[in-house]
Chain A
């Protein structure tokens, strides 16, 4: 039986070269894969970039809506402020035809805010919630729902607008506080509270 002696591994320069080539080839393959995944995120029609643009558009729509609603002529209240001080504390939900109170089905939301939402948001198939955040007498922050249509998706955007309420704005401060939970945080002055109106919008 003839024994064939193999090449000395310490002197096999070709093997080292092959190993290097294999590592390099594998690295390039991985890099190409990474590049391909990254590159697709930049194409205009891929979901992530498209979502970012849609979020940006919805954000702009929300800002414009709240800016218009919060505009007021000198010496008058804005529509947004009127909506807050006329609020009875009910939570409303869109029922395909109107915003109806969850607790009182005969209570239907009316006014410029409802008209604006119908015209801009509902017509474009954008889901939305509106919440009021305010400080309490103890200094903590509280949020109450005004319009609630479900939990927002991961791509939801929130636009907030602060509205100042003074005692002179409210006819009956005691009833308003008990109905809405929004209390007078400083009874020593005419200051009542600041309401942070949070409009959450998302594509369904």
Chain B
């Protein structure tokens, strides 16, 4: 009888142990469950800064920079103070808008630097790129280089091409420094347009300082304008004209400014550095 009672107690202990193990499994499962659910909710949350917000900031900052440039060039001369005053107001106002949403926003402007002819204006930017496509007629095409020290020699020249819709170049111009002179080569005819390191101004439509044959070469064609080896040239360009659909177009590059943006929430802080071409 005593032995029987001893067995009963062992059975109860075993049962309790089984219950305890089962209980622990249930608890751990529920906890894991919660973690998975919580992580799903976090990934679907849209309260924090996302790529959409960053792209919006990049776009609006570029717009602000362009508007500031046009504000600063209402006279003929570029007014540095007007440009930076506009950006200062922009910085304050956008910071206020973000503050109402619980974000800290700060905009830091560098200095306006001469731009390379690359896509983003920096030496590391894309060197071979299309300025504009589907051109019917170009009315103005000027290039101004104050600093010509970036020009390479004839083996790797800065080159501009007008290419028709079949992909055939219909006009080419190369610009290079042979060590003593700056040369421009159009349709395989080379002209000296200045001495090394002197500033140059080309009006390609009005044929200044040489005949560039641009209008005659591109007449009755729909074409695009491409830059090649554009990291070997620094300066200003301006192109205006009409597209094949009848709309007017304008492309200009004056300067490039390196802008830094910091946006921070209570959880994250993001720093973005944007090269902004002006205008």
Report how far A13 CA is from B60 CA in the complex, Å. Answer: 78
Report how far A70 CA is from B56 CA in the complex, Å. Answer: 9
Pick the contact of B71: A34, A133, A166 (CB < 8 A).
A166
Pick the contact of A42: B19, B37, B44, B56 (CB < 8 A).
B37
Assuming A55-B44, A135-B96, is B89 touching A186 (CB within 8 A)?
yes
| A180 at interface by CB-CB < 8 Å | no
A162 close to B23 (CB less than 8 A):
no
Per-position contact with A for B87-114: 1 when CB-CB < 8 Å, else 0? 0011001101100100000000000000
Among B44, B64, B86, B93, the one with the most A-chain Cβ atoms within 10 Å of its Cβ is: B93
Per-position contact with A for B27-52: 1 when CB-CB < 8 Å, else 0? 10110011011001100101000001
Report how far A98 CA is from B118 CA in the complex, Å. Answer: 47
Pick the contact of B37: A41, A56, A166, A186 (CB < 8 A).
A41
Binds B, one of A88-96, A170-178, A187-195: A187-195
| B250 at interface by CB-CB < 8 Å | yes
Pick the contact of B26: A17, A20, A31, A70 (CB < 8 A).
A31
| A32 at interface by CB-CB < 8 Å | yes
- A31 to B, closest residue via Cβ: B26
- A186 to B, closest residue via Cβ: B89
B64 close to A164 (CB less than 8 A):
yes
| A157 at interface by CB-CB < 8 Å | yes
| B22 at interface by CB-CB < 8 Å | yes
For B67, what are the chain A residues with a Cβ–Cβ distance below 8 Å?
164, 166, 168, 190-191
Assuming A133-B97, A139-B96, A164-B67, is B85 touching A31 (CB within 8 A)?
no
| A185 at interface by CB-CB < 8 Å | yes
| B251 at interface by CB-CB < 8 Å | yes
A188 close to B85 (CB less than 8 A):
yes
Distance (Å) between the CB of A169 and the closest chain B CB? 8
B82 close to A189 (CB less than 8 A):
yes
Report how far A52 CA is from B44 CA in the complex, Å. Answer: 7
Per-position contact with A for B62-97: 1 when CB-CB < 8 Å, else 0? 011001101100000000001001100110011011
| A39 at interface by CB-CB < 8 Å | yes
Report how far A63 CA is from B56 CA in the complex, Å. Answer: 11
For chain A, give the interface size range: 35 or more
B93 close to A135 (CB less than 8 A):
yes
Report how far A53 CA is from B41 CA in the complex, Å. Answer: 10
Distance (Å) between the CB of A137 and the closest chain B CB? 11
B60 close to A163 (CB less than 8 A):
yes
| A59 at interface by CB-CB < 8 Å | yes
For B36, what are the chain A residues with a Cβ–Cβ distance below 8 Å?
42
Pick the contact of A24: B23, B55, B90, B93 (CB < 8 A).
B23
Binds A, one of B8-16, B142-150, B186-194: B8-16
Assuming A135-B93, A157-B46, is B56 touching A31 (CB within 8 A)?
no
For A17, what are the chain B residues with a Cβ–Cβ distance below 8 Å?
9, 12, 16
Per-position contact with B for A67-91: 1 when CB-CB < 8 Å, else 0? 1001000110000000000000000
- B99 to A, closest residue via Cβ: A141
Report how far A17 CA is from B23 CA in the complex, Å. Answer: 17
| B272 at interface by CB-CB < 8 Å | no
| A38 at interface by CB-CB < 8 Å | yes
Report how far A53 CA is from B57 CA in the complex, Å. Answer: 27
A24 close to B64 (CB less than 8 A):
no
Pick the contact of B93: A31, A56, A75, A191 (CB < 8 A).
A191
For B93, what are the chain A residues with a Cβ–Cβ distance below 8 Å?
135, 185-186, 191, 193-194
Assuming A38-B33, A135-B93, is B70 touching A52 (CB within 8 A)?
no
A164 close to B34 (CB less than 8 A):
no
A168 close to B70 (CB less than 8 A):
yes
Could you list 14 A-B pairs, sorted by A, with CB under 8 Å?
A: A17-B12, A31-B23, A32-B26, A35-B33, A52-B41, A55-B44, A75-B249, A135-B96, A159-B52, A162-B60, A162-B94, A164-B90, A194-B90, A194-B94
- The 10 A-B residue pairs with the shortest CB-CB distance, nearest first, are A190-B71, A166-B67, A31-B26, A186-B89, A24-B19, A191-B89, A189-B86, A164-B63, A63-B52, A56-B44
